Amino acid sequence: MIRALYDWTIALAAHPRALWALAFVAFIEASVFPIPPDVLMIAMIIAVPHRAFLIAAVATLASVAGGIAGYLIGYGLFDTLGRPVLEFYGKSAYFEEFAQRYNDWGAWVVLMAGVTPFPYKVITILSGVTALNIWVFVVASVIARALRFFIVAALLWKFGPPIRSFIERRLGLMFTLFIVLLFGGFLLVRYL
């Protein structure tokens, strides 16, 4: 089953509209979707290594655009839903203190979440909720997402054939590692 899914993903990665699919996945992952665009991006670079940096650029731009959408979701929903609930329970002062601390470190938080397996969508929405300066958010997001995607693209471009061979020989292990990282990120969100 995993082999069939891998073969399907590689075939999709070589499709003429694969860049549009990657842009869509990167966009929605930054605000609501749980699966990172890295899965499709890696398959695309393995399938067509000469387009590695174009693929990374599309992933970066779409992810930052999706991050802005996540920011707007957090900003808009907090004012309509979150703030009245906090005021009802008399906790709005606590939120203001948290928001100030978050905004003091916001650029670093966005950078950390943008390059690690930590779910980026959580930070995009939280940045909107706390009204982190939008330009700080955008600049930190561009740097973080570009680092993440371009480093992966450069490594796959340089060492692609051995990496593809390694992935194909150890497909079950790679799938398990991906699932562990995915759920680990969600557990971090829940308990931090």
pLDDT at 34: 75
DSSP, res 81: I
CA nearest to 182, candidates 48, 80, 34, 59: 34
Q: Where are the domains of the chain?
A: 19-191
**186, pLDDT greater than 70:** no
pLDDT tens string 95-107: 777 788 888 888 8
In the chain, the amino acid numbered 40 is L
**168, pLDDT greater than 60:** no
DSSP, res 119: -
pLDDT at 115: 78
Q: What share of the chain is helix, strand, coil (3-state, %, to 5)?
A: 85, 0, 15
pLDDT tens string 46-66: 888 899 999 999 999 999 999
Query: What is the average pLDDT value for the chain, to the nearest integer?
Result: 81
CA distance 42 to 52: 9
CA distance 14 to 113: 29
The residue that leads in pLDDT, 180 or 151, is: 151
